[in-house]
Amino acid sequence: MVVANQMSPIRVEKKKIPTIDLSAKESQVSKLIIEACEEYGFFKVINHGVPHHIIKTMEDESFRFFHKALPEKQRVGPANPFGYGNRNIGLSGDTGELEYLLLQTNQNSIANACKLISSAPSKLSYTVNGYIAEVRRLACEILGLMAKGLGLPLQVFTTLLTDRDTDSLLRLNHYPPPTAAAAVSSTTNNPIGFGEHSDPQILTLLTSNDVPGLQLSLGNGHWLPVTPDPQAFCVIVGDLLQAMTNGRFVSARHRAMANTSSTESRLSMVFFGGPPPQTTITCPPQLLKLNKPLYKAFTWADYKSHAYAHRLGETRLDHFKLS
């Protein structure tokens, strides 16, 4: 079960989450991204090129689903791992104050899920696929800028998300107002909406509406609230990218607090960029000229199996460290 940290969330005044304008000069953008990945593993991007109407339509469809009666939402099936879930965050029994819809990003899976989600499945499939295509494009652009800043060929990272068998996910998280939360959970109110964790994939792109809740861990029990900005995407370094950069990039630990707004729901739309399952994860030799490798080679399938077998919040990458 997710347990709240007893220390109240605090803002460290000298710390500020970087916001990077992707329309600026490419060399400067690349430099800023590298710095953000090294210090936080977390940054925001603006002027990202994803059309606002595509984000808004996806948000509207998400709210349309979550505002349905519980029996209708449960038709999508229990999240095992894909489908609809409430409070059960992961496969290891972790809980939080939210409900969610987890989808694979391939078109066949989306088409099948939309038949259960909507009375107009073709329209919904078009919306979901359009959103995923735009966010995947943005993820590849950012990975390319990372590669450039590290002095690597662009395809070292970008091909991981463009392969036909990519193992990416779209997760829609809905945090109801406190008055509505009772309908999702009969337990006492838990201040944690989604507990502390890092993302196991390569890169996460998250956008949310204008309701706060996301927080970035600064270590030692200190948490930095992430100011919501519907015009921006949060970019979060995942465990695989930390391994592929030999620890130079930091896999960001983060959490979401339960919604405290009495009038508005919080919605986050989260794209998890994952490679094909049999992809071998290693650090490119260009980054090992002055350093020994920290991690042994492993496949995404191996790491995914290991990560999902552990509780939310546990440190998982250490298992693959070289002694």
**What DSSP assignment string belongs to 59-119?**
HHHHHHHHTS-HHHHHTT-B-SSSEEEEEE-STT--EEEEEEEEEESSHHHHHHHHHHH-S
Q: What share of the chain is helix, strand, coil (3-state, %, to 5)?
A: 35, 25, 40
Whole-angstrom distance, CA of residue 196 vs CA of residue 17: 18
Which domains, and CATH codes, for the chain?
19-316 (2.60.120.330)
- What is the pLDDT, as a whole number, of residue 179? 63
Identified catalytic residue from 87, 136, 253, 266: 266
pLDDT along the chain (323 residues), means of 10: 43 76 98 98 98 97 96 89 86 84 94 94 96 98 97 93 92 85 48 92 97 94 94 98 97 94 93 97 94 95 92 88 88
Please state, as a whole number, how many other Cβ atoms lie within 10 Å of the Cβ of residue 162.
14
Whole-angstrom distance, CA of residue 284 vs CA of residue 248: 12
How is residue 149 written in tokens? 């800043």
Q: Pairing relation of β-strands 254-257 and 266-273?
A: unpaired
Strands (E) across the chain are located at: 19-21, 42-46, 83-88, 95-104, 169-175, 192-197, 203-208, 214-219, 222-225, 233-237, 254-257, 266-273, 280-281, 298-299
Whole-angstrom distance, CA of residue 120 vs CA of residue 64: 12
In sequence order, which residues have a C-beta less than 8 Å from that of residue 193 and are 6 or more positions away? 96, 97, 98, 175, 213, 255, 256, 257, 258, 259, 266
Is 266 one of the catalytic residues?
yes
Whole-angstrom distance, CA of residue 142 vs CA of residue 36: 12
pTM, two decimals, is 0.92
